Structure 1
Amino acid sequence: MIGNSLRMIDFNNNNLLGELPRALVNSRSLEFFDVSYNNINDSFPFWLGDLPELKVLSLSNNEFHGDIRCSGNMTCTFSKLHIIDLSHNQFSGSFPTEMIHSLKAMNTSNASQLQYESYLMWNNVGQYLISTDVFYSFTMSNKGLARVYEKLQKFYSLIAIDISSNKISGEIPQVIGELKGLVLLNLSNNNLIGSIPSSIAKLSNLEALDLSLNSLSGKIPQQLAQITFLEYLNVSFNNLTGPIPEHNQFSTFKGDSFEGNQGLCGDQLLKKCIDHAGPSTSDDDDDDDNSESFVELYWTVVLIGYSGGLVAGVALGSTYFPQVFAWCRDCLSVSVIILLNKIFERH
């Protein structure tokens, strides 16, 4: 198929160099575009977003660089794109929030928007002959392993974003939760910071989430335990802290999903969580508290009694023995100070 009838371009695993030809923007029927595993040195091809039927875009393992965003005032819609693999390149800049807004097909469950078109065979005089099944073959990372989809059209509900192994910085925006059809999300091995957005819990179809090898901080949102279909999770080697969620799918994940986070604790790790502020304490703690309270009460009573006795003694002494009065007055001051010090040392 050529010209406007071209539906598939698969040039993966070759030795292509240079930039992508801008003439590809004229392929208005293009559905599948794969130039992975080459040596293409170019900026993000935002102009491909104007292709109304583009569903699969793979630029992985090349030398693409710069920001992942539209150029200038142009609008790149990517209206039907539901698989994008930009992994193992040199893309940089902040997280492509603008592009997330444009991925309309990724927040739908409408099968008619996700299914691929059938090929039609024509003879040399333009007469329709027969429809035929020409399947797209596609390879991408799934649950930590490279998987080959020999007949991608049969997986039309596969909605995936992979921008791993680049130099993307900034925070993961809450808007990521709008892509409710996402099945695979791989943002690993970048320079992402900030917390894991709780909006990821809205991705009810998500099966694999990889956020490893970044600089994410804060706690793992408890809401992520609500993702029923989550089979693979990797948040290792970040700066996460606090307890690992315990319920639902999280009980199936092993320690290697969380390793490399010094502040994390949970049953999956050797480091168990200690609830310092919890309502329940051990019997030993209760005994210590009671003992400490008793000691404080004891010293308070002693201070009152001792001081009262001294005051009475001083009063009598001032009447009959003026010389003794001056001496006892000094004793009273010193004794009170000593007793007060003993009490405050307890705190």
Structure 2
Amino acid sequence: SRRLEYFDVSHNNINDSFPFWLGDLPELKVLGLSNNEFHGDIRCSGNMKCTFPKLHIIDLSHNEFSGSFPSEMIQSWKAMKTSNTSQLQYDPQIVQINNHGPLSVTRVITYSFMMSNKGMLMVYQNLQEFYNMIAIDISSNKISGEIPQVIGDINGLILLNLSNNDLIGSIPSSLGKLSNLEALDLSFNHLSGKIPQQLAQLTFLEFLNVSFNNLSGPIPQNKQFGTFEDNSFEGNQGLCGQQLLNKCIDHAETSLYEEDHESESLFELYWTVILIGYVGGLVGGVALGSAFYPDVIGLLKRFF
């Protein structure tokens, strides 16, 4: 069992807690527990380290896992941080079949793995050919709390699916460091704030879904984000952008309009004051003239 590199028990009725003891297997590369009834926290127990030293595909989707995001455990997944993908290659699994005859048959065992990728259910018939696939899928559970910034340290990630959970807080800007990321699904959570501008740096990102959260502000605009349609952002009332019916207001134009409007108001106020002064002076002058008119006439008659 110490040589085990592929463990997949997906689509069963297993009712148990997270099998943390698998983390001590030095060669384990793939862990598939999806579509079961696993429950509780995703973390180690007791003094176990459960480092999963060579793990680079983990699918825990469609279970009953709860608690906060397993940030401490994820930080120990060193294989997901490697820049040398040749280290992720599987050992060839060769079985020799002998029928008690003069000839023996050699057979190479291949792994078949099914998981969601870019919004579709994909079946990898020969997983060994996709040895550079680095993926985390914890979707459709009851994970709560915030997505930690340390997620950005797993720089080899190609697929990250955290959809259908109870995650809160903002989308961490550190996701912008995942330069190899091709698919990011954060839909159906309770995330708030703006979509980080750093995500526009992900030039390999082919699939993005942040729909049905509480996000607000403008959608980052570049060539990559321009390829995503409205269904990637729907269900966020505060979001605005070219992909949505809710267009963003140009703040520069708004500011210029407000300045012009303010200048016009000051101009109008200035001339109103002048007009009031002029009219006031005129009325005052007429009133004073009427009061002293007899005296002025008498004084003029003395001189002339």
TM-score normalized by the length of structure 2: 0.87
* Match runs of 1:201-220 below 5 Å: 201-220=176-195
Give the C-alpha shift of residue 305 in structure 1: 4.0
1:53 aligns with 2:22: no
CA distance in 2, matches of 1:164, 1:264: 23
Aligned 8 A contact 1:118 1:131 in 2: no
Give the C-alpha shift of residue 281 in structure 1: 4.1
Aligned 8 A contact 2:93 2:110 in 1: no
Aligned 8 A contact 2:65 2:141 in 1: yes
Of 68, 79, 90, the residue aligned with 1:105 is 79
Of 157, 164, 167, the residue aligned with 1:189 is 164
C-alpha spacing 1:278/1:44, structure 2 compared with 1 (3 Å): farther
1:265-316 per-residue CA deviation (whole Å, 9 max, x = no partner) reads 111011100134557646xx77754542332011221344456667878999
1:148-197 per-residue CA deviation (whole Å, 9 max, x = no partner) reads 00000000000000000000000001100011111110000000000101
Give the C-alpha shift of residue 112 in structure 1: 3.5
TM-score normalized by the length of structure 1: 0.77
- Runs (5+) with no aligned partner, structure 2: 99-103, 294-304
> Percent of pairs identical after alignment?
68
Higher-RCO chain (CA-CA 8 Å, sequence separation at least 6) = 2
CA distance in 2, matches of 1:194, 1:313: 71
Aligned twin of 1:69: 43
1:28-56 per-residue CA deviation (whole Å, 9 max, x = no partner) reads 00000000000101111111100000000
* Match runs of 1:267-278 below 5 Å: 267-276=242-251, 278=253
Aligned 8 A contact 1:184 1:208 in 2: yes
CA distance in 2, matches of 1:155, 1:63: 28
- Runs (5+) with no aligned partner, structure 1: 1-26, 321-347
Provide the aligned C-alpha RMSD in A: 2.7
Q: What is the letter of the counterpart of residue 227 of structure 1?
A: L
1:182-225 per-residue CA deviation (whole Å, 9 max, x = no partner) reads 11100000000001011111111111000000000000011101
CA distance in 2, matches of 1:203, 1:184: 10
1:86 aligns with 2:60: yes
Aligned 8 A contact 1:118 1:132 in 2: no
1:172 aligns with 2:119: no
CA distance in 2, matches of 1:309, 1:70: 90
SS at match of 2:68: coil
Aligned 8 A contact 2:14 2:36 in 1: yes
Of 117, 124, 128, the residue aligned with 1:149 is 124
For these two proteins, the number of residue pairs brought into alignment is: 289
C-alpha spacing 1:308/1:269, structure 2 compared with 1 (3 Å): same
Aligned 8 A contact 2:95 2:108 in 1: no
1:261 aligns with 2:222: no
SS at match of 1:38: coil
Of 291, 294, 313, the residue aligned with 2:267 is 294
Aligned 8 A contact 1:119 1:131 in 2: no
